[in-house]
C-alpha cells in the first residue's frame, strides 16, 4: 500500500515544485519548544508534511531532502545522548523508498544553505538559511489542496486508528456504567488504546452529566458521583496510527428515558447524513441539512415550537447546535485545506450564520471527514437566545428537563465515495 501512496505523494510534490519553480524541498520533522523561562519542552508534534511521507512521528530534528526524479534522503536524527533513548531503526515497506542517513549531531547534517533553488517546509524559525524559501505559498497551497484526497494507505491507517479508539471507547463506557469518575474512564481509555497523553491526537473529552454541554470540556472530575445522580456520558476521543488520527464521539444515557430516545434520534440522523457524503456534494449543504434535521428532533421533543426552516433562518438551531458538522481528518485532527476551493489557494468562507464550519469544500473521492452533529443545552447560548427575542420559540420547562444531561454528540469518520461512502467507525 505504501508504494502507491508514495507514488501519489511524489506526483503532488513534483507538481508543487514545478508550480513554485523549485528544484527541491527540505521537509523538517520539527522540534519541541520550551516553556517560557524554562528548560522543559511542550510536547513534540511532527510536521504533517513530514509524516505524510514517512511514518516517523516522534523523532524531532529529522529532515527529508526531496528532489524530483531522485531517491529522497532522510536525515534521521539519532544523537549520541545518554539522556534519552534512541529511536528504533526504521522498518517497513517505506524504508525502501529513502536513503536513510543517521545523523548524530549538527555537524553531520549537510549544509542545506548550499542547495540551489530549494524550499524549507517547517515550523516558524526552524529554517537557518536565508537562501531557502520558507514554506512558499504556491507549494503549500498546491499540497494542502491535494492532501485532502487520501490514498489507500492513509485510509487504512485511519481505519486502524478507528478500531483502536473504539476499544478505548468501550473501556471508558464500562467505567461510566460502573459508576466510576470521568478521570477513571480516561485512564481506562489510555490503557485500552496503549496511548500516552502525548500520543493522543487531541485531549480526550470525557464528560458526565451537564459537563457534556461544554464543547471542549477539558477537566476530568476525579470524584465519583453517586449512582443515582448519573445521567449521561459523552466521550470524544481518538487514536493515532502511523501519524493518522481518528476522531470519534459517542453519547450514552445512564438509564432509559427521553434523553436516551433523543440520543437514538440524533444517531439515526447522523447515519443518514453520513451516507450523503458523496462526490460532488457541498459540505455546506450537508451542514445545513443537519441543522434542519436537528431542528425537527428538537420540535419532536417539544423543545422548540417553530418549524425547521424558521429555526434555521432565525439562528435558533445554532443555539442547540453551535459548531460545524465536521472537518477533514488525516495527519491532523482538523486536517488542513477544508476551506480551500482550488490548488491555487482560493478559499470559500462558511455562511455568515455558521462561522465555525471548518469544511466548506465540494467533496471529492477519498476525502476523509467527520460527521458530528449534536444537541446541547448551554446556558450562555440559551441566555443569548432569550436576549435576541428567540425565547418565544423555546419551551423553557423542557429545556430545564434536559439541562442536567448536558448534550449529545455523535461523530463518525467517513470516506467520501462516488455512490456509497465508507464509514470507518461503524
Ligand atoms: Mn471532530
Residue-range domain boundaries for the chain: 2-134, 152-423
Q: In the prediction, which pLDDT does 317 show?
A: 98
Residue 293 burial (CB < 10 Å; 0-12/13-18/19+)? buried
Q: Which CATH class is domain 152-423?
A: alpha beta
Q: Assign residue 381 a region: left if phi > 0, alpha if psi is -120 to 50, beta otherwise?
A: alpha
Distance CA 54, CA 47 (A): 11
Residue 248 Cα to ligand 1 middle (Å): 7
CA–CA separation, 46 vs 51, rounded Å? 7
287 alpha carbon – ligand 1 mean position (Å): 14
Length of the chain: 426
CA within 13 Å, CB half, 198: 10
Please give the distance, rounded to the nearest whole angstrom, from the Cα atom of residue 423 to the centre of ligand 1.
Answer: 14
Look at residue 89 in the predicted model and tell me its pLDDT.
83
* 382 CA to centre of ligand 1 in angstroms: 23
Whole-number Å distance, alpha carbon 88 to ligand 1 midpoint, is: 32
Q: How far is the CA of 296 from the centre of ligand 1 (A)?
A: 23
For residue 97, report the distance from its CA to the centre of ligand 1, in Å.
33
For 238-356, list the strands marked E by DSSP: 240-241, 244-245, 248-253
Do 368 and 328 meet the contact criterion of CB atoms below 8 Å apart? yes
2-134 classified as CATH 3.40.1010.20: no
For residue 315, CA distances in Å to 139, 250, 290, 300, 301 come to: 39, 26, 14, 18, 19
How much distance in Å is there from the Cα of 161 to the middle of ligand 1? 14
Q: Cell numbers at residue 247, please?
A: 476522531
| Ligand 1: centre distance to CA 174 (Å) | 22
Place of cell 513554485: 20
- Distance (angstroms) between ligand 1 centre and the Cα of 325 equals 9
- In order along its 426 residues, the chain shows pLDDT tens digits of 999 999 999 999 999 999 999 999 999 999 999 999 999 999 999 999 999 999 999 999 999 999 999 999 999 998 888 887 777 788 899 999 999 999 998 788 899 999 999 999 999 889 989 999 999 999 999 999 999 999 999 999 999 999 999 999 999 999 999 999 999 999 999 999 999 999 999 999 999 999 999 999 999 999 999 999 999 999 999 999 999 999 999 999 999 999 999 999 999 999 999 999 999 999 999 999 999 999 999 999 999 999 999 999 999 999 999 999 999 999 999 999 999 999 999 999 999 999 999 999 999 999 999 999 999 999 999 999 999 999 999 999 999 999 999 999 999 999 999 999 999 999
Is the pTM above the cut of 0.95?
yes
239 Cα: distance to centroid of ligand 1 (angstroms):
12
* Model pLDDT, residue 80: 84
Q: How far is the CA of 127 from the centre of ligand 1 (A)?
A: 32
Vertex 196 angle, CA 34 and 410, to 5°: 110
Q: Ligand 1 center to residue 227 CA distance, Å?
A: 30
- What is the whole-number distance in angstroms between the Cα of residue 333 and the centre of ligand 1? 7
Amino acid at each position: 500500500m505504501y508504494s502507491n501512496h508514495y507514488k501519489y505523494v511524489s506526483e503532488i510534490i513534483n507538481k508543487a515544485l514545478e508550480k513554485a519553480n523549485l528544484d527541491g524541498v527540505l521537509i523538517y520533522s520539527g522540534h519541541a519548544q520550551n516553556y517560557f523561562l524554562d528548560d522543559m519542552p511542550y510536547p513534540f508534534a511532527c510536521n504533517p508534511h513530514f509524516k505524510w511521507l514517512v511514518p516517523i512521528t516522534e523523532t524531532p530534528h529529522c529532515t527529508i531532502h526531496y528532489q524530483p526524479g531522485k531517491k529522497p534522503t532522510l536525515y534521521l536524527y539519532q544523537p549520541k545522548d545518554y539522556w534519552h533513548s534512541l529511536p528504533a531503526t526504521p522498518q517497513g515497506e517505506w524504508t525502501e523508498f529513502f536513503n536513510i542517513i543517521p545523523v548524530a549531531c549538527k555537524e553531520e547534517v549537510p549544509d542545506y544553505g548550499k542547495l540551489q533553488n530549494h524550499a524549507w517546509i517547517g515550523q516558524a524559525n526552524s529554517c537557518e538559511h536565508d537562501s531557502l524559501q520558507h514554506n512558499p505559498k504556491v507549494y503549500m497551497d498546491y499540497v494542502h489542496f491535494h492532501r485532502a484526497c487520501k490514498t489507500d494507505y492513509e485510509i487504512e491507517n485511519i481505519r486502524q486508528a478507528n478500531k483502536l479508539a473504539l476499544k478505548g471507547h468501550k473501556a471508558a463506557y464500562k467505567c461510566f456504567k460502573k459508576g466510576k469518575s470521568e478521570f477513571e474512564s480516561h485512564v481506562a481509555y489510555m490503557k485500552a488504546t496503549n496511548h500516552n497523553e502525548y500520543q493522543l491526537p487531541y485531549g480526550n473529552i470525557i464528560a458526565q452529566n451537564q459537563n457534556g454541554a461544554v464543547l471542549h470540556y477539558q477537566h476530568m472530575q476525579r470524584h465519583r458521583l453517586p449512582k443515582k445522580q448519573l445521567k449521561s456520558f459523552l466521550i470524544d476521543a481518538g487514536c493515532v496510527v502511523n501519524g493518522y488520527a481518528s476522531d470519534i464521539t459517542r453519547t450514552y444515557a445512564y438509564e432509559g428515558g427521553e434523553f436516551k430516545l433523543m440520543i437514538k434520534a440524533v444517531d439515526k440522523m447522523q447515519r443518514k447524513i453520513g451516507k450523503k457524503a458523496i462526490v460532488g456534494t457541498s459540505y455546506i449543504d450537508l451542514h445545513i441539512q443537519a441543522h434542519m434535521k436537528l431542528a425537527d428532533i428538537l420540535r419532536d421533543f417539544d423543545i422548540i415550537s417553530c418549524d425547521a426552516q424558521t429555526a434555521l433562518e432565525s439562528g435558533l438551531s445554532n443555539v442547540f447546535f453551535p459548531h460545524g458538522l465536521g472537518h477533514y481528518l488525516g495527519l491532523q485532527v482538523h486536517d488542513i485545506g477544508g476551506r480551500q476551493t482550488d490548488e491555487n489557494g482560493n478559499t470559500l468562507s462558511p455562511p455568515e450564520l455558521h462561522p465555525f464550519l471548518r469544511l466548506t469544500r465540494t467533496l471529492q473521492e477519498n476525502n476523509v471527514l467527520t460527521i458530528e452533529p449534536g444537541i446541547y443545552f448551554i446556558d450562555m447560548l440559551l441566555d443569548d437566545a432569550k436576549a435576541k427575542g428567540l425565547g418565544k420559540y423555546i419551551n423553557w420547562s423542557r429545556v430545564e428537563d434536559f439541562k442536567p444531561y448536558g448534550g449529545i454528540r455523535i461523530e463518525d469518520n467517513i470516506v467520501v465515495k462516488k455512490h456509497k461512502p465508507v464509514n470507518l467507525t461503524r
